[in-house]
Amino acid sequence: MPAAKRAALVPAVTRAFAVLDLLAQERTAMSLARLADSLELPKSSVHGLCNTLLALGYLRRQSDGAFFIGPSVMTLAEAFVAGTNIAQEFATLWSESHEPQETVILSVLSGAEVVYVAARNGVRPLGLAFNVGMRLPAHLAASGKAMLAFQPVEAVRELFGRKPLAALSRRPAPTLDELLAELDQVRAQGYSIDDEGVREGVHCIGAPVFDATGQTVAGVGMCIQKARLDESWRETHRELVMQVARQLTERLGGMPFVEVASDSTGTHP
């Protein structure tokens, strides 16, 4: 970050958000001592930050004294979603068409994760609820891989090259090289697959949404019980996911995906 921008930051606010960001990344409650050690801050400073965030509802304290994310963050998430045009367009899209048979989600990238900003639950039970504000590793989620495929390769390396990629199911996590190879394929075909990487028995298809500048701004995903999946269903749902992504892209003034070679610039021709 440029020095001028660093100087404009308010240290106390920066440290408070560092606490929230760390807890969000770790996805587990952390003691005061562990927070202070991880953030390389004095325990007294972190104690004051946590007590303030606790009083405001942005943190909650467990019975053992450890801290975790509190309910007030949902107010921010809901405000973000309310002001996100793509989420509004997604809602309008379903108001103009039939309810989907399967669960369809809309997500945006947040660092190395996807954040679900809208979901249209299908009429068939899936056993996996996608709630607004839910986060998943982008390298596992179908909608995440659909977006990552159209990011600059160096940006993907920067996001995922620092530590081993996480796994959520019994399927092993990919290596960075395996992920990059998969993203190459997604870029060529215009859709991505999550084959039980997020949850066993659930198969998801994802497709990217582009804005008027050619940037990937969101990902659409559809999830299906794998036991009911055959080649006919696979083709039908792939077409539906790409159709939804195409309609959202057009609503944003973007150009829908076409099968062309990627230049790895993070833009869509």
Mean pLDDT of the chain: 84
Q: Going from the N-terminus, what domains does the chain have, and what CATH number goes with each?
A: 3-71 (1.10.10.10), 76-251 (3.30.450.40)
**Mean pLDDT over residues 123-136, rounded?**
71
Strand partners, 203: 195, 224
20-57 pLDDT tens trace:
989 988 888 999 999 999 999 999 999 999 999 999 99
Longest Cα–Cα distance in the chain:
61
**Mean pLDDT over residues 171-198, rounded?**
92
Identify which has the larger pLDDT, 261 or 109: 109
How far, in Å, CA of 159 to CA of 114, rounded? Answer: 13
DSSP class of residue 41? -
**Mean pLDDT over residues 221-242, rounded?**
82
pLDDT band with cut points at 50, 70 and 90 for residue 2: very low
Contacts with 231 (C-beta within 8 Å, 6 or more apart), sequence order: none
